[in-house]
Amino acid sequence: MSFIPSGVIPAVLLPFFDDLSIDEASFRSHLDDVTRVKGLSAITINAHSTEVASCTFEEQTRVLQITKDQLKAQLPIVHGIYAEGSLEAAKIARMATDGGSSALLVFPPGPFTLGQRPEMVVEHFKRISDASGLPIIAFQYPMGGGQGYSLNTLHRLFKEVPMVRAIKDWCSNPVLHEKHVRQLQALNPIVNVLSTHSAWLFSSLVLGCNGLLSGSGSVIADLQMALFNAVQNNDLKTAKLINDRIFPLAQVFYSEPAVDMHNRMKEALVLLGKLPRAVVRPPLVKVSDEEIQLIKSALIQAGLLNQAGKPI
């Protein structure tokens, strides 16, 4: 096991043509843009940010092929495992492993919204681990929706499926989040907490997360890298200044409805001249002109556009 997920890991977007097919050239350009940032630990694909719920198995395979070819081993690839059932999840895990991924990001299966038992969680992850052997990041959802894992379940999972080496923490509860940081990162072997609390990233990192995994890294990987380094160096003065730039973007990206967060990030990249269009797949629809103006204003406040709306 050579790659233990930690540090700054952007989750990239997936551009589409107007006919909803994948725009491979723009995806390659987007990968190049994000990976120019020095110090990144990995790149995540086939996750929420790439609209994985609307992508077929064959399209996910192609996204991995493009990413592997474009990165040329420059960075490890974290591959999302998004499936309703454990058999399909294991199939995706085998594909991701054979295709050159370095770690897996496992989403909770949809049936857990109706309730779960620890045995179900362990069985789901065990089938994925047995099919792959790669380090696993467990995506920790908010507890209220039924897909989040209790601390007791997490501890059992780490014991019975030792390839689970990190969580992507979206518990949305600062008290529970701190417990995750304190307990999981004190284990031997360590289980890293990767924050995805991107709406309050500064506060989250100060609690001691060993990394972050965020879709907004598709737009501001450089600012996230600078923020993470400042917090790691205990330079809170610098961290606060960086957070002042991130804050207006977090406000627009993560406003309601949350399902549009990556939709808004595509619009931001269009405004920055980094994507030719902000097409999303149904059931998502294009955001309003009013919301695009809010995104533009946030980019200006963040110092990424000038007052004339031109990239800086």
Report if residue 218 sits inside a domain. yes
CATH number for the domain harbouring residue 184: 3.20.20.70
Report if residue 293 sits inside a domain. no
Instruction: Report how many domains make up the chain.
Output: 1
HEC sequence for the chain: CCCCCCEEEEECCCCECCCCCECHHHHHHHHHHHHCCCCCCCEEECCHHHCHHHCCHHHHHHHHHHHHHHHCCCCCEEEEECCCCHHHHHHHHHHHHHCCCCEEEECCCHHHHHCCCHHHHHHHHHHHHHHHCCCEEEEECCHHHCCCCCHHHHHHHHHHCCCEEEEEECCCCHHHHHHHHHHHCCCCCCCEEEECCHHHHHHHHHCCCCEEEECCHHHHHHHHHHHHHHHHCCCHHHHHHHHHHHHHHHHHHCCCCHHHHHHHHHHHHHHCCCCCCCCCCCCCCCCCHHHHHHHHHHHHHCCCECCCCCEC
Report if residue 251 sits inside a domain. no
Contacts of residue 231, defined as CB under 8 A and 6 or more positions apart, other chains included, come to 202, 205, 206, 239
Position 112 scores a pLDDT of: 94
Q: 250: which 2 tokens?
A: 């977090």
Distance, in Å, from the CA atom of 138 to the CA atom of 169, rounded to the nearest integer, reads 8
Report if residue 148 sits inside a domain. yes
Report if residue 129 sits inside a domain. yes
What does each of the 312 residues of the chain score in pLDDT, given as a tens digit?
579 999 999 999 999 999 999 999 999 999 999 999 999 999 999 999 999 999 999 999 999 999 999 999 999 999 999 999 999 999 999 999 999 999 999 999 999 999 999 999 999 999 999 999 999 999 999 999 999 999 999 999 999 999 999 999 999 999 999 999 999 999 999 999 999 999 999 999 999 999 999 999 999 999 999 999 999 999 999 999 999 999 999 999 999 999 999 999 999 999 999 999 999 999 999 999 999 999 999 999 999 999 988 998
| Radius of gyration for the chain, computed over Cα atoms and rounded to the nearest angstrom | 18
Report if residue 261 sits inside a domain. no
Report if residue 184 sits inside a domain. yes
Determine the structural domain holding residue 100 and report its residue range: 7-234
Report if residue 272 sits inside a domain. no
Position 2 scores a pLDDT of: 79
Specify the pTM: 0.97
Q: Which amino acid is at 1?
A: M
Position 1 scores a pLDDT of: 53
